[in-house]
Chain A
Amino acid sequence: MKLNLKVWRQQNNSAKGKFVNYKIDDVSEHMSFLEMLDVLNEELIKKSEDTIAFDHDCREGICGSCGFMINGRAHGPGSGIATCQLHMRSFKDGDTIIIEPFRAEGFPVIKDLMIDRSAFDRILQVGGYISAKTGGIPDGNAIPIKKEDSDLSMDAAACIGCGACVAACPNSSAMLFVSAKISHLGLLPQGKIENDERVIKLVAQMDEEKFGSCSNTYACEAECPKEISVTNIARLNKYFIKANL
């Protein structure tokens, strides 16, 4: 198929970016979205033009490196997939596709579609862990954990930190990401002990990193490639209230 691409090009963070139009022929519907961009970049190299910079690593939806806004949707159309899992069969011959970086004050653009997501790392650094020394591998049955809690914790741990929640949110809120970490650690007995300090520190750092507040539109849940539930946000709120009372 033939496609028209409008791609955001920006030399660096301080440069003024703009959309550049590209025409691309011979796109196979079996290609992934990133492979389509690879083909375009090959063509740009042949023409001695600057290639389009974008993040990627595993290309199987588990590393959280890739991600941009594709036709107004974080990770493109569909749900439960990262950009690398989006296939070109989701588009039709002759389509125009608008490709933009995830836009948020907390995610400055590095170049073109690449953004700096280190704000997420800094949020985790203030308390997104358990500080107890865990030693060697404990006996699996030494600490009884309710199946329901361990399932909820594992579901939250599926977060890959791609930032689609922030990108999709009209308030650029990172609540889904932060709440996934809070639930992941806070539901288990080893992590529960530090719940109060963790939630206060993580929320403060989230605000510090210039992420917005949640207005419960749930756009984050709809775009999350790991389908992290917004009930985690309710849990964060509950822990936050408890920690402050």
Chain B
Amino acid sequence: MKIVNSFLTSSVGKKILMSLTGLFLCSFLIIHVSGNLLLFKNDNGVSFDLYSHFMSTNLIIRTIEIGLFAFILLHIYVGLLLTFTNRKLRPKNYKKYKLSETTTFESRIMRLSAVLVLIFLIIHLRTFWFEARFLGATSQYKLILTSFSNLYYTGFYIFSMLLLAMHLKHGFQSAFQTLGIKNSNYNTIINIFSFIFWFIIPILFASMPIYIFLNK
């Protein structure tokens, strides 16, 4: 109970919850991006559809999926809670406040990138996940081909990946700071992984709609 109490009531505990949920969501990105790389296989989407079918029917994956949604909601909930609490703690705003000289761009747009990534996520789930799960779409590959033949939809995806990159650039290394792991001994390894997460993964994700759009 001691743990639960500290976590739910203290500011540091809420941040730890934020970082743990964030890192769990990051781990999902690895699975998601590696599976999606099958889109580049030149077999008219046969392998990709097999993979999507496996992901949507396998019991273990379906169970993890529930956890994933729970973690997304928890991440959003704690994020909102912290944002609204913090906002009240400066009773009057500064007339001039040069955060731009003391903080990074990605840390300043964290809340904005969060909201836009969430909007992206809703649209993304509606287009693919919801369509397959509830409306009986049989080929995810065909859905992808149709969606990314649209210039605006493709552009929206690339823009969203840019925002995801910004969110992860601050968020990933930030999680390790909150978990107390970030220090001179681990900085290099954290920075390497951070680069993979904020740079390489969003680029891989963005390259998929571009590839499909150009090959339509």
Residues of A within 8 A of B (CB): 6, 19, 69, 71-73, 98, 100, 103-106, 168, 170-173, 200, 203-204, 206-207, 210-219, 222-223, 230-231, 233-241, 244-245
Contacts and interface: CB of A to CB of B under 8 A. Distances in A.
Contact of B102 (A200, A222, A244): A222
B136 interface: no
Nearest to A240: B12
A244 B2 contact: yes
B180 A237 contact: yes
Interface string B179-199: 111111000000000000000
Nearest to B179: A237
B91 A236 contact: no
B101 A73 contact: yes
Given A213-B11, A237-B12, A241-B16, A172 B99 contact: no
Given A105-B88, A231-B182, A241-B16, A216 B177 contact: yes
B182 A222 contact: no
Interface in B1-60: 2-3, 6-7, 9-16
Interface of B: 2-3, 6-7, 9-16, 82, 85-86, 88-99, 101-104, 107-108, 110, 170, 173-174, 176-184
8 contacts: A170-B99, A172-B89, A207-B9, A212-B86, A213-B12, A231-B184, A241-B179, A244-B2
A234 B94 contact: no
B82 A213 contact: yes
B93 A103 contact: yes
B12 A236 contact: yes
Contacts of B98: 71-73
A171 B180 contact: no
Contacts of B10: 203-204, 207, 240
Given A203-B11, A241-B16, A72 B86 contact: no
Given A104-B90, A204-B10, A234-B183, A213 B102 contact: no
Contacts of A100: 94-96
A222 B179 contact: no
A228 to B, nearest CB: 14
Contacts of A6: 95
B11 A237 contact: no
Given A98-B96, A212-B11, A103 B91 contact: yes
B104 to A, nearest CB: 7
Nearest to B97: A72
B180 A215 contact: no
B99 A217 contact: yes
